[in-house]
């Protein structure tokens, strides 16, 4: 007997749009490129719209509206709402409601994109099908007070079509007439929408499936440096789930996080303020706790006995981490006055602790490879 999905469970609007834009991107766009050719203007327009709409999701919808990681003046809120709508990922109000519910109920039935229901469900299935009654938007009372957010909610569809499709078509027309308008619509419009949407979708699916968990394994969220490249820094998802109100996802200076850099630059221009960030001490202590927990679990493992030398190395690393944790706690009290000299001592201790934490994770990976 063939498996059939009841039509009542299908979200026909979402399904038609997502499938239609995907098919158009793999058929009409290549045909246009073959017969008309794509010039530098079309490529540049695609990249500009990709960056503008992608950052409007990561900087606007996500870190500003969903997590209140900073405060923004009205021009920034307006621009992220306009170009955020152009991603066709729903209004800010609906997007934030789903995302806050995800953080509150991660990996459970109340998580809208619950990864335990499968990669496909977390990636796009939850959008295509009505699996449950729509939950109420009872967690966005703060955003209902924002006049710009409510205006976008009221005119969301018109805004999405105008900014997402008509604007690139108009720019294409001004560049090369009607054939340029078609190219703008297809490339900077349709293909760009598909690219940005799946950039977001992969955070819900891939970053809950593949990657490292240096901060906690209490939920499925993982850090992926590769995904950070394609998602404006959102790939450091394990950190984000532990410290969701930090305006940074890539907390290390060398981690790729254009959203973080954009927020910092805007703060220097006076367009945003109140950047929230977790202290290095708190981050380091969580990494210490996670490293020690993994070491203890590895040492206690009876299923795959460790070689004697590796066991000694892990025991030594565990003892060192315990010592450094106690030392850091003592340093906090000793350097409470925070004079310049004391701060330098604290920084030196922090560097040493970081080095030992990295060493502990290296030993864990080595032990796993040798098991």
pLDDT above 50 (res 2): no
Cα separation of 55 and 364, whole Å? Answer: 36
Mean of all residue pLDDT scores within the chain: 87
* CA of residue 348 relative to chain centroid, distance: 31
pLDDT at residue 280, as a whole number:
76
pLDDT above 60 (res 1): no
Q: Domains of the chain: which residue ranges?
A: 7-273, 280-370
Confidence of residue 3 (pLDDT cuts 50, 70, 90): very low
- The stretch 54-67 carries a mean pLDDT of 98
* Residue 205 falls in which region: left (phi positive, over 0), alpha (psi -120 to 50) or beta: alpha
- Per-residue pLDDT reduced to its tens digit, 248-261: 999 988 999 999 99
pLDDT > 90: percent of the chain: 67
Cα separation of 304 and 286, whole Å? Answer: 27
- Environment class of 46 (CB within 10 Å of its CB; exposed 0-12, middle 13-18, buried 19+): buried
pLDDT at residue 358, as a whole number:
67
pLDDT above 80 (res 370): no
pLDDT above 80 (res 214): yes
How many CA atoms, within 13 angstroms, populate the side-chain half-sphere of residue 182?
A: 13
- The stretch 96-109 carries a mean pLDDT of 96
- The stretch 322-350 carries a mean pLDDT of 65
- Entry pTM: 0.85
pLDDT above 90 (res 143): yes
Non-local CB neighbours of 120 within 8 Å, separated by 6+ positions: 205
pLDDT above 90 (res 163): yes
- The stretch 116-139 carries a mean pLDDT of 87
- The mean-pLDDT minimum among 87-91, 131-135, 195-199 falls in 131-135
């Amino acid at each position: 007997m063939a498996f059939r999905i009841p039509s009542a469970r299908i979200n026909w609007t979402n399904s038609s749009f997502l499938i239609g834009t995907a098919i158009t991107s793999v058929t009409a766009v290549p045909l246009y490129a073959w017969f008309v050719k794509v010039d530098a203007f079309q490529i540049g327009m695609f990249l500009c719209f990709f960056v503008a709409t992608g950052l409007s999701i990561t900087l606007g919808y996500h870190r500003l509206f969903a997590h209140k990681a900073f405060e923004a003046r009205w021009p920034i809120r307006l621009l992220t709402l306009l170009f955020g709508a152009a991603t066709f990922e729903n209004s800010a109000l609906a997007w934030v409601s789903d995302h806050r519910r995800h953080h509150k109920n991660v990996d459970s039935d109340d998580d809208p994109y619950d990864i335990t229901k499968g990669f496909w469900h977390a990636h796009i299935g939850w959008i295509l099908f009505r699996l449950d009654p729509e939950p109420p938007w009872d967690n966005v009372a703060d955003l209902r007070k924002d006049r710009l957010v409510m205006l976008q909610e009221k005119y969301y569809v018109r805004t999405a079509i105008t900014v997402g499709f008509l604007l690139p078509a108009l720019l294409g027309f001004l560049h090369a007439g009607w054939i340029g308008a078609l190219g703008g619509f297809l490339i900077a419009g349709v293909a760009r929408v598909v690219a940005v949407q799946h950039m977001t979708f992969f955070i819900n699916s891939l970053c809950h499936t593949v990657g490292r968990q240096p901060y906690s394994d209490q939920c499925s969220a993982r850090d992926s440096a590769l995904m950070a490249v394609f998602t404006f820094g959102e790939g450091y998802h394990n950190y984000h789930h532990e410290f969701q109100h930090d305006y940074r996802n890539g907390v290390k200076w060398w981690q790729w996080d254009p959203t973080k850099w954009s927020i910092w630059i805007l703060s220097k221009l006076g367009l945003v303020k109140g950047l929230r960030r977790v202290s290095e001490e708190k981050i380091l202590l969580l990494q210490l706790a996670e490293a020690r927990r993994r070491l203890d679990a590895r040492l206690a493992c009876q299923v795959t006995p460790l070689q004697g030398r590796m066991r000694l190395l892990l025991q030594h690393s565990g003892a060192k981490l315990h010592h450094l944790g106690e030392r850091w706690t003592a340093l906090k009290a000793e350097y409470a006055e925070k004079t310049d000299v004391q701060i330098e001592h604290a920084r030196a201790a922090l560097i040493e602790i970081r080095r030992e934490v990295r060493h502990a994770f290296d030993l864990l990976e080595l032990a796993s490879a040798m098991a």
